[in-house]
Every structure is written in C-alpha cells, then in structure tokens.
A and B are shown apart, each in its own frame.
Chain A
Amino acid sequence: MKPLSRAAFLSNFPTALGGTVLLMVASLLAQPSSLGKPGPAPQQMQKLTASAIQLERSDPPEDLLIPEDTRVATYENVILQLTKTKKFQRVYRSGDRTAASVPDLVILRLIPQAFKAGSQKQREVTTVTGATSIKVKIQFASRDGKVLREKTVEGKVRFYGENLRATYDLAKKVAAVVNETF
C-alpha cells in the first residue's frame, strides 16, 4: 500500500476527529441513567438491616397537585411490594401504633417531586404522547430522624394501561431499591 501523503492525512484528519467525537458523545448518551432505574449498588455502599419498616405518608408540596386516587394507589402498591420483598418481618402502615415497640424500625418516606397526568386514550391513539409519570424521592430514615439513604425514582405508563398503572410501576422500582438497600 502506498503511504498517505501529508496533504491527504491533513484532509482526512478533521473527518476522523469528528467521527471520534461523535462516537464518544453517542457512548455517553447510551449510558443508562440512574433515574428510575436502580442500577447496581456501589461497592462501598453497605446494606442496611432492619426487622421492620414503616411507610409514612408525605404530603406533596403546595404547588404540586396530585389526585388523591394516585396518592392512595401509590401508598397501597408500595405496601404490597414491600411485603413481597420479604426483607422485613413486618411492614407497618403510617400511623400504626404497634410500630412504636420495634427497636430497629426503619421509616420509609415517599416525597412527591413531580407528577404529570397523561391520558390513556391519547397514549393508545398516538403511542408517543399522553404518558403518565410520577416522580418521588425515597428516603429511608431511622426512628430518631437520621436519613440513612435517599434515592429518586420515577414511575411511568407509556403505551398501554390505565393511568394508575404508573403507581404500580413506581412501587416496583421502590421495591427494587429496597432490595438493593437491605
């Protein structure tokens, strides 16, 4: 093969450089985002231990209006999914007085961050719009109020299913975070 002359090298260099930059950008964009998808836990993060967990209700900020059926469905779905993890001997509901006697109780708070009400009809007709999403910050805290771990997750329903299915999706993701934390 004939080696490239200096002029040919200089003319190809910008193209090669542009291609390299594009590949780097594409690989960065292809990285899975940590939002809503609980990835593998960092190695230095130690797992927590607790025999019981209590799910507390948290009111959303005043400027964030969430329908009450969505809030209730989120709460109940998370209770169901927490029980399914089998990580705790007991899952207590908010306000349960019997939780006061548990020594190593962990309190789980779901703090609403964002909510977008979609439309089932719009989703099914267009397939690209009308998604319902709800984003919450998960906070594990000890009884004395010390925050042990925090993470933000997002539940969505994109294509088929009723709007309340977003709360089921959210609860599954909360359960995944619980599994990696305990």
Chain B
Amino acid sequence: MRTRSAEFNPGVSSKQRKIGRRLLQLAGLLVSAIGVVFVATAASGFSQQLATPQASKTTSIPHVKCVIGLENIKPNTKGTLSLLPDGLEFATGKNKVDINTASIQDIFTGQESRQDVSGPVGTVAKAGIPYGGGRIVSLFSHNVEVLTVEYVDSNGGFHGTVFVLSPGNATVLKNQLVAQGAKVTNHVQPPPQEQKP
C-alpha cells in the first residue's frame, strides 16, 4: 500500500532519487579511493622490486648459511652475506671473510629444498612423534637457493664456497658480481635434486 502511495506521490520519489544519487556518488568515491590505494601500493612494490637489484653497493642478506669453504668459518655457520664494491663479504658475530671479485673464477646458482624441521634437535623431535607422525612433519619443506663461488687465493690455490640463501637472492648476487667483473662460464646444469616428493 505504501508503495502504491509512493508511486503516486511525486515529492517522495524525488527525495528517493536524490538519496540514490548521493549514495551512488559516495559509492563511486569509495571505489575510486580504494583504487588509488591499490595503485599506490602496487607502484611502491614495483619500485622496490626494481630498486633491489640496482642497489649493488649496499646489498646485504642476513641469515645466510655458509655450508663450507671459508677460512676461519666453521661449516654450516649462519651470517650476513654482503656485496661490497669489490666483492663479497661474509660476516658472523666474530669473523669476517672477504672474497675479492678479481679472484672469482666461476659462480653457480641452483635451487634445492630444505626441510622445515631439520637439524639434530628437529630430527630427534620428529623421531619422538608417535605413530609415524614425524614422517608427516618431513613432508613440509621450503625452497632455497644455493650460491657456489669458486675463487683462488694469492698463491693460486683453488677455493670453493657454498652458500644457502632464500629464493631469488643468489641470482641477484650472481648478476651483481658479474656486473662487477667476476668470471662466469657456461655449464650444463644437472636436473634439480629435489623434484621427487
């Protein structure tokens, strides 16, 4: 009944139209504001992506594991890998080791996966889970990138170092080292080791 009265009342319908228009305007403003926020976020992210590889003088990657190969650094030590203007630097709390770009003979990158729960403590914990639950935990893994740097010392002795980094960082470092003048040769890459489940 009210509907019918509203249809035949021109004053009420004009008010509803005004309210509808305002609502539409507000909705449009809201949508455009959200769009502006999205565009700004995407632009800043894109600019960061572009800026990261170009920041060659200050690239510093924390939580890098040096698997083996550096003098005075124990195997499987974690530290910060930095790109200096003249090479690489691996620093732990106590020690710091440099690899000069001119001494680098070759650089390799590769992808592997590592268990989320690993190490002696993790292994014992997994073994302690009853009914084979440790095997379920073993299914969880994450991808890592491996950076292998081959270089020579002042006597010409060959050295090799293996670093494990988070994905993407090894390739960026390799490209920056190549830009600095490090030698790299083309090699046939074997298939990735961790393709099987």
Contact = CB atoms under 8 A, between A and B. Distances in A.
A67 interface: yes
Number of contact residues on A: which range applies? 20 to 34
A122 B157 contact: no
Given A68-B148, A69-B146, A121-B141, A76 B160 contact: yes
Contacts of A98: 155
Q: Which of B134, B155, B157 has its CB near the most chain A CB atoms (within 10 A)?
A: B157
A137 interface: no
A72 B115 contact: no
Contacts of B160: 71-73, 75-76
A68 B187 contact: yes
Contacts of A77: 68
A117 B135 contact: no
B193 A95 contact: no
Q: Which 10 A-B pairs have the closest CB atoms?
A: A72-B160, A93-B157, A124-B138, A65-B190, A96-B157, A68-B108, A117-B193, A94-B158, A95-B156, A76-B68
Interface of B: 67-69, 75, 106, 108, 110, 112-115, 118, 123, 126, 134-135, 138-139, 141, 146, 148, 150, 152-153, 155-162, 187-188, 190-191, 193-197
B76 to A, nearest CB: 9
A128 B138 CA distance: 14
A124 B135 contact: yes
Contacts of B193: 67, 117-119, 132, 163
A117 B148 CA distance: 17
Given A93-B158, A97-B156, A66 B115 contact: no
Contacts of B157: 92-96
Interface of A: 57, 65-69, 71-73, 75-77, 80, 92-98, 117-122, 124-125, 130, 132, 160, 162-164
B139 A125 contact: yes
A72 B194 contact: no
Nearest to A71: B160
Given A72-B150, A77-B68, A97-B155, A121 B162 contact: no
A148 to B, nearest CB: 22
